Amino acid sequence: MYDIKIKHQKYEDLLVLKDLECQISKGDFVVIMGESGCGKTTFLKIISGILSNYEGEVYFNSLPLHKKSKGSLTKIRGEQLGMIFQDFQLIDFLNVKENIKLINSKSSEEEIDKILEKLNIAELKNKEITKLSGGQKQRVAIARALAGNRKIILADEPTASLDSKTSTEIMEIFKMLNEEGYSIIMITHSPQIASYADKMLYLYEGRFETELELKGLEQSKKLKTIIEVVGKHYENSLAI
């Protein structure tokens, strides 16, 4: 699905990513971890085609994103990638259905109804966004990402603004979607959230310094392994 080799990416004189390489396969559930400001969101913007000011190569389903025009990248993103954000990015004065159709104008009523039913929010279809809880808003954001038959989800801290119980409910949704064949690439600071994934990439000094294969492990074992890696990096940063 993704084959990524980024030589470097800068914001003016600030070097953010350097000599970063990774491969992400169809059906993977990958979490990206690392300290604040290390470039996690920048990485997500590059693989979604939002950012193109980097030197390197990014192949998505064999398509060379690094050679595509801005218009082509927008089309690829709109047709194949579902984006989910910490702050939901929903339009408050529109209802749930209108928010979904705003980005997915070709989605039928039947498709929207099926997605809302899958996410247990069918009764919210005509409800205004301002009247929803945080967890309900994130379910709507997930529904919007799924509409249009998109099978790849890029999520940037999707549980950061939610309480623990609601975060668990949202992660169970992501787990269900992955089991149904959706590919998920997610940024998180939380080892607990990361323990739902099958692979963890730890971003440090511009590159993925640690890659953990977690598939097949019990969630408690995943969590323990992730905490050990995060703790090691934290201790190393204090020693500098």
Domain ranges in the chain?
Answer: 2-239
Question: Which residues of the chain form beta strands (DSSP E)?
Answer: 2-11, 14-24, 29-33, 54-60, 63-64, 81-85, 152-156, 183-187, 199-204, 207-213
Cα(175)–Cα(165) distance, integer angstroms: 15
The topology (CATH level 3) of 2-239 is: Rossmann fold (3.40.50)
Determine the Cα–Cα distance for residues 57 and 209; give it in Å rounded to an integer: 19
pLDDT in tens, the chain (240 residues): 999 999 999 988 889 999 999 999 999 999 999 998 899 999 999 999 999 999 999 999 999 999 999 999 999 999 999 999 999 999 999 999 999 999 998 899 999 999 999 999 999 999 999 999 999 999 999 999 999 999 999 999 999 999 999 999 999 999 999 999 999 999 999 999 999 999 999 999 999 999 999 999 999 999 999 999 999 877 766 665
